[in-house]
Amino acid sequence: TGTGPRRRFHAAGFLQRRLSGGERREVQREILAVLGLPGRPRPRTPAASRAPAAAAPLFMLELYRAVAGEEEEEEEVSRPVLTGFSTQSPQPGSAVSRADTVVSLVNMVEQDRDIFSPRPYWKEFRFDLTQVPAGESVTAAEFRIYKARGVTRHPNNTLHVSIYEIAAEHSNRESDLFLLDVQDLRAGTEGWLVFDVTAASNHWLVDRKYNLGLRLYVETDDGHSIDPGSAGLLGRRGPRSKQPFMVTFFRASPSPARVSR
Amino acid sequence: AAKPPRRRQPKKTNDLPHPNKLPGIFDDVHAADGRQVCRRHELYVSFQDLGWLDWVIAPQGYSAYYCEGECAFPLDSCMNATNHAILQSLVHLMKPEAVPKACCAPTKLSATSVLYYDSNNNVILKKHRNMVVKSCGCH
């Protein structure tokens, strides 16, 4: 009901009232509450260096487009869960359709036992799940890592890539590991590898002390350990658009209790 | 109650309702007496105007549809009326002080998604079910 400079004609032809500073903050607070956020997120790195090239935002943007397309069409298509060797572009699958929230997690720590260390070789990754939404349960979780051609002389040889959850670490002996997923592929293959790590993310959400990360091994057909870097598996030192990340799918718990505002 | 006199049934046709009678799709739907009937309106919330594009990746804004308009008897101009709304409108005619008119409210809602960065640079895709008003009607 305002008048004068506080009202303006919108392009569509109807009168639109300009919000005061207080009203704007109130609107922002309400929208943040709908999104389930306590406050406005403040990403650490500047926007310009985050968005365009990084693998996780690119993947999530593709996922957003797929979900938005589904919402447009209002189709309930049931397709297989996103697992196995795939391209970067996600397909709208049942894991995506069922999820209320999808979070891509940036790899925080990467450790290698590479060709300069005793065998077996491995690569470790760690993700921070402290910011995941409360009151939601994990329906699926994927670890995505890019495989380049590598330095193999035998591109048709089979490689076994296995991913483990680090269950416990010991100072005097090898860590306790829990096998999550295995994939067999040709040494000359190039593209994104997707591993099912749902069990690990469930453990990590139960208690943060279990979050000791993931460990990846590569072996040949005859059981020889191969340095993951030499096999072409890219880590944090790879191009930004091909760095490993984790995607977790959450479903809101059907709790009747809602936060009152 | 006295039996009402028999009326001639109107001739049945296979014609679809006039598209302008479908609420929530077309603008400027008015009842015969000039009142605006229950229909869907749009209020666009621009994330750019809110200065949020440094953390919201997509969409650039949100079409906040809402339902507004009258649910007055007869409800023939509002095709999306429930049986109860028709009955309530009738009772309202008889006892306007005691019984309010039927309400103009969403009849169909759909989901919408937002893609944004959290403070750890993780990217979150959040789906909100039953968030966007697809159509309005009298309840």
Tens-place pLDDT, residues A170-229: 888 888 899 999 999 998 899 999 999 999 998 888 877 778 899 999 999 888 999 999
- pLDDT confidence of residue A27: 79
Q: Is B59 on the interface with A (CB under 8 A)?
A: yes
Residue B27 has pLDDT above 50, yes or no: no
> A220 or B31, which is more confident?
A220
Q: Quick check: bond before B59 cis, omega within 30?
A: yes
Q: What is the pLDDT of residue A147?
A: 94
Structure tokens, A83:
């697992």
Chain A residues close to B66, C-beta within 8 Å? none
> Which residues are within 8 A (CB) of B45 and not within 5 positions of it... i.e. 6 or more apart?
A27, A31, B61, B62, B64
How buried is B111 (Cβ within 10 angstroms: 0-12 exposed, 13-18 middle, 19+ buried)? middle
Query: Where does the pLDDT of residue B133 fall: very low under 50, low under 70, confident under 90, or very high at 90 and above?
Result: very high
pLDDT band at A252 (very low <50, low <70, confident <90, very high): confident
Rounded to whole angstroms, the Cα distance separating A178 from A228 reads: 19
Q: What pLDDT digit, counting tens, does each position of A127-177 carry?
A: 887 766 666 788 899 999 999 987 777 777 899 999 999 988 888 888 889
Distance CA B58, CA B64 (A): 15
Residues of A in contact with B113 (CB under 8 A): 64, 67-68, 71
Q: How many CB atoms lie within 10 A of CB A35?
A: 15
Q: Is the pLDDT of residue A106 over 80?
A: yes
A positions 61-100 inside 8 Å of B (CB): 61, 63-64, 67-68, 71, 74, 99-100
**Which residue in this structure is represented by tokens 């479903």?**
A251
What span, in angstroms and rounded, lies between the C-alpha atoms of A145 and A56?
A: 11
| Residue A191: both structure tokens together | 């593209």
pLDDT at A68: 84
A67·B58 Cβ contact <8 A: no
Q: Does B111 touch chain A (CB under 8 A)?
A: yes
Classify residue A58 as left (phi > 0), alpha (psi -120 to 50) or beta: alpha
Helix (H, G, I), strand (E, B) or coil at B76: helix
Helix (H/G/I), strand (E/B), else coil: B79: coil
Which chain B residues have a beta carbon less than 8 Å from that of A131?
A: 118-120, 122
Distance CA A65, CA A25 (A): 29
Residue pLDDT, tens place only, B46-78: 888 878 888 888 898 888 899 999 898 887 766
Low-confidence winner among A3-7, A116-120, A153-157 (lowest mean pLDDT)? A3-7
What's the pLDDT score for residue A80?
A: 36
- DSSP class of residue B70 equals B
Which of B24 and B120 is assigned the larger pLDDT? B120
B27–A contact, CB cutoff 8 A: no
Which amino acid is it at A54? A
Q: Which two tokens mark B24? A: 């929530």
A139 within 8 A of A102, measured Cβ to Cβ: no
pLDDT 10s digits, A51-96: 556 888 899 999 999 888 877 765 343 333 343 334 455 554 567 7
Alpha helices for chain A (secondary structure H): 21-35, 47-50, 55-73, 94-98, 198-206
